[in-house]
Amino acid sequence: MAKVITALSTSLDGFIAGRDDNVQQPLGRHGSRLFDWYADGDTPSRFYEQFHLSPASAEFFDTIAARCGAVIAGRRTYDFSKGWAGTGPLPGVPLFVLTHRIPENPPRSEPPYTFVKGGMEQAVSQARAVARDKDVSVMGSAGVQQAIQLGLLDEIHVHLIPVLLGGGVRLLDHLGPGPIELDCFGVVEAPGVTHLSYRVVR
């Protein structure tokens, strides 16, 4: 069965976007700092030719991307990204958008976007069906938190950035009573970022 994972750039104080994020400023104030590692090397990603990473980051990033057979995103992430102009967050990979209200004019995409009104469990079920033996990747803090609360998330990959944003959108919040145990199974040091991999202990 496909694993459900997330892989997000995160500040040392736990934020995936800065303060005052909105459609015009989707990463919030100073949030772009979380993605400097996308352009601090000379190794192009196999999936995004505009990314030029360090060799260690390129290998880690592309390994995760190659495993991805479907993506789940929340409506807020979809709106802030302007629907990725139809390319999806990972080109060619099916996208499932959690929403209470289906957009009137979604961008043309291949494969077409799927809008899920039945919640995270339904989205994971549908995404797993198309991902087959690949992974399902969850984007956005709300989706990740829901997946953890429902016991659906299998792995957390954090691209840890050495910066303190001081506020914004926190990745791991509102998780309810804990603790939730994690098992670290990978640490990759790279220029400007440390890639950390954890399994969620059932």
> pLDDT per residue over 38-48, tens digit each?
999 999 999 99
Burial state string for 138-166 with b = 16 or more CB within 10 A and e = fewer than 16: bbbbbbbbbbbeeebbbbbbbbbbebebe
What is the model's pLDDT at position 202?
86
> What pLDDT is attached to residue 71?
98
pLDDT on residue 1:
74
> Which pair of tokens denotes residue 21?
């994020």
Q: Please tell me the pTM assigned to this model.
A: 0.94
Beta carbons within 8 Å of 86's beta carbon, 6+ residues apart: 107, 108, 109, 110
Which residues, listed in sequence order, are joined to residue 161 by a DSSP beta bridge?
11
Which residues of the chain fall below pLDDT 50? none
User: CATH fold of 4-200, please?
Assistant: Dihydrofolate Reductase, subunit A (3.40.430)
Going from N- to C-terminal start, the domains of the chain cover: 4-200
Reported as a single tens digit per residue, the pLDDT across 105-125 is 899 999 999 999 999 999 999
